[in-house]
Amino acid sequence: MKAFPFLSRAPSFALVLALTGLPPLPALAIGGVPDARPVVTAQPPVRTPLLEHWSGSAPEPRLTQDQLTALLRLQIKYVFVIYNENHSFDNEYGTFPGVNGLYSDGLAPRSAAKTPGFTQTYTDVNGKVVTVTPFLIGPMQNASAVDGAEHDHPAVAYKLHVVDNLPQLDRFAEYEYNNSASLGGAANVAAGKQAAWGVMSYVDCDTIPFFWGWASNFTIFDNTFATEDTPSAPNAIAIIAGQSGETQWVKHGPAGQTYTSLDGSQTITTLGLPLVTDGQPLYGSQFDLTRAMPKQPGGPAVYASFPVASNLTFATVPLLCLGSDVTAVMNQNLHPSFDTPDIQQDIPFIQGLNLEPVPWRWYQTGYGLEATDTNGVASHAPYVVHHAAPQFFGYLAHTPPLLGTMRGMAAFFADLAAGGLPARGVIYIRGGFLNQMGLTPPITNPLTPAAEVAAINAAKAGDDDHPDYADRQLSEAMNARLINAIASVPEIWDHSAIVLTYDEGDGLYDHVPPRILSYGPDGLPLSRGTRVPLILISPFARSHAVSHAEGDHNAVVQLVETIFGLPALASLPDEAQALAAGNSPAFNQFGPPGFQQKYLGPRDLNSPITDGLLSGFDPARLLGLVPPLPSSLATIPDSLVTTLPHYGGRGCEALGITPEDVRQRIFTTVPPGFNPRRSTYPAAN
């Protein structure tokens, strides 16, 4: 038998014998439309630094799902989910080589006429029909610091423009123009024109070179969508639950809950279900019921700008992770009738599986004491509360044994340095309003007026990649710092899978129609939302590959379940009952005639609509036939991380990557007078 020198534990002999004679990998669907390509394709061409890690066109071992799962469980002990904010796939990777992008399907060029929504029009206040098409922005536009698009639930539904259950994707520019211009006045009309342009802009490796470098060295997924057709909070929840409250809606109806504050001075009705807007979690608000344990961070000042969400009570990955401890832990919840009504059957089901508990952590900037705090007291100033998924669930936020599972960003680095991470587990990491490295946004255009520089510095200090308050290069610096830290500890890197992904598309244009899986009580498409970036980084990942497997955040949920042997959320009794009950006249009425609501709940069972992330792993590496990818492919020297702009604004040249538009000699024109910061610096409108 062949030796397997690169594995800490060799595969079984029976597994190796089973590698021949397996059927080819199945074909896939792009946005629900059948596609003839294989699930995984190579990125063209192979860059010189990757040649020693590239297996070329050599046949690879064919593994069944069970075989691949068995190997992953031998090798992967950690799943790190770095969860960024608000960019569509085309906005950041639309010209990345080998992907289904703006100008190519990944294998061959594609015309504008065959690209959904490529040509957008709107009618301006003078009755003129204006045409907008995608265009590249870069260093001369200070493209790392931009303002975002409108991305509330009705806005994104309008932009998708679903006809006969198929998104047309042709109303992005129209919505953005009218959203401002309809307010009247020259300033609003000017802002609307800028917004209509901005929603169609895109960047490349000159603006986000670290992200493109990881995508090139490892595996990028180009068919992953936001779980919900909504803004951030519902999709923050989806990364741990695969839904934003469909189970609760089916079981209890769409109405919110009424609460009075502890001091009796205020009464509210919380947002209804499923959650489709950026509500703040109940725990941490002035309506928080916590008395016998420390409250979650938040408070009235934080909650002034957002309504309060209903307490969420359906199953999550952290609940699954409790394993055989689930009954003992949930018995210590401080308000079970309020916090656990929709997991009453799930708890004994999970208990009955007698699984070893899987440690989990949620690290988020501002939750605890951070580098930006100056007096030794956690200010929570950088904390974006509605991005903190576990805080929405009373059974996670209000159960004493779970104190310490949520922590600040500084705590991640401290825990890693001190050996304080668990020996295995799933770890979620998010940035926030302020970056922890003390960096200021890079100014790549030397002609930028001083007043605009000051406006950028004041407005773009965040590091979670949210266009409205963060900077792209500060965000990739944060991602680099995290990945460098993981890669610097061999016993962690050697057994890790890092998922770098986004919550939703910020209302920015993307040309791939999402599969419409459900409609909400408002009659609008609920799932899915716009396509988002996802990169898989691991010693066992495919190198320089593109996976076209279709999915959403449920694919991340499914990866965690697969690696740690957890049951699918959709298989739990409470969730399964809601999924079955949702496909009924009472709920089908919200969709178009004949539509069936099959997905009002999590959809983390492997199927053609959620193909998971397993295609991003290299069977030959898992079998030890070729070496694992070294940490050097993920590591970016600290001197580069903190030197802005990254690579002097010439990232494509430094990486040796030729974007697809350049390869095809397509040179777009930035509209004259375009201002990427219409709100941050309106003087340039």
Together in a domain, 404 and 523: yes
With contact defined as beta carbons under 8 Å apart, do 586 and 250 qualify?
Answer: no
pLDDT at 9 over 60: no
What confidence score (pLDDT) does residue 64 get? 87
Together in a domain, 565 and 634: yes
Question: Do strands 129-132 and 120-123 pair parallel, antiparallel, or not at all (unpaired)?
Answer: antiparallel
643 in any annotated domain: yes
Average pLDDT, the chain: 92
69 in any annotated domain: no
| Residue 18: pLDDT band with limits 50, 70, 90 | very low
Together in a domain, 395 and 372: yes
What confidence score (pLDDT) does residue 298 get? 83
| Residue 16: pLDDT band with limits 50, 70, 90 | very low
Verdict on whether the full-model pTM lies above 0.85: yes
What confidence score (pLDDT) does residue 290 get? 83
- The mean pLDDT value for 419-424 works out to 94
Together in a domain, 150 and 227: no
Cα distances from 437 to residues 463, 475, 645, 651, in angstroms, run: 10, 11, 15, 21
What confidence score (pLDDT) does residue 225 get? 98
| Residue 568: pLDDT band with limits 50, 70, 90 | very high
| Residue 226: pLDDT band with limits 50, 70, 90 | very high
What confidence score (pLDDT) does residue 265 get? 82
Together in a domain, 266 and 150: no
| Helix/strand/coil (H/E/C) assignment for every residue in 465-527 | CCCCCECHHHHHHHHHHHHHHHHCCHHHHCCEEEEEEECCCCCCCCCCCCCCCEECCCCCEEE
| Residue 6: pLDDT band with limits 50, 70, 90 | very low
Together in a domain, 84 and 124: no
What confidence score (pLDDT) does residue 169 get? 97
- The mean pLDDT value for 254-283 works out to 90
Cα distances from 391 to residues 32, 91, 319, 406, 455, in angstroms, run: 33, 30, 13, 9, 33
Together in a domain, 283 and 376: yes
What confidence score (pLDDT) does residue 34 get? 52
pLDDT 10s digits, 38-97: 899 989 886 666 666 765 556 788 888 899 999 999 999 999 999 999 999 999 999 999
- The mean pLDDT value for 450-463 works out to 96
Task: Find, among 616, 508, 598, the residue nearest to 556 by Cα.
Answer: 616
pLDDT at 36 over 80: no
- The mean pLDDT value for 344-364 works out to 98
d(CA 246, CA 603): 11
pLDDT at 235 over 70: yes
pLDDT at 245 over 90: yes
Q: Which residue has the tokens 């009309």?
A: 189
What confidence score (pLDDT) does residue 315 get? 98
- Beta-carbon neighbour count of residue 328 at 10 Å? 11
What confidence score (pLDDT) does residue 511 get? 98
pLDDT 10s digits, 596-617: 999 999 999 877 788 889 999 9
What confidence score (pLDDT) does residue 11 get? 45
Together in a domain, 422 and 537: yes
Together in a domain, 368 and 410: yes
Quote the tokens at residue 572: 């739990």
676 in any annotated domain: yes
- The mean pLDDT value for 632-646 works out to 96
Together in a domain, 230 and 331: yes
pLDDT at 5 over 80: no
- The mean pLDDT value for 646-658 works out to 96
618 in any annotated domain: yes
- The mean pLDDT value for 453-468 works out to 96
DSSP per-residue string spanning 186-223: HHHHHHHHHHHHHTTEE--TTTSHHHHHHHHHSEEESS
What confidence score (pLDDT) does residue 173 get? 98
d(CA 319, CA 353): 13
d(CA 117, CA 243): 27
- 86-100, 112-126, 252-266, 338-352: lowest mean pLDDT where? 252-266
Q: Which domain holds residue 221?
A: 35-48+76-112+208-434+486-662
Together in a domain, 188 and 251: no
pLDDT at 627 over 60: yes
252 in any annotated domain: yes
d(CA 45, CA 219): 14
The count of domains in the chain is 2
673 in any annotated domain: yes
Q: What is the sign of the dihedral through the CA atoms of 91, 94, 99 and 101? A: positive
The residue among 292 and 590 whose pLDDT is bigger is 590
- The mean pLDDT value for 638-666 works out to 96
644 in any annotated domain: yes
Q: What share of the chain has pLDDT > 70, as a percent?
A: 92
d(CA 644, CA 161): 39
| Residue 461: pLDDT band with limits 50, 70, 90 | very high
The residue among 2 and 100 whose pLDDT is bigger is 100
447 in any annotated domain: no
- The mean pLDDT value for 335-354 works out to 97
Together in a domain, 160 and 266: no
d(CA 672, CA 661): 20
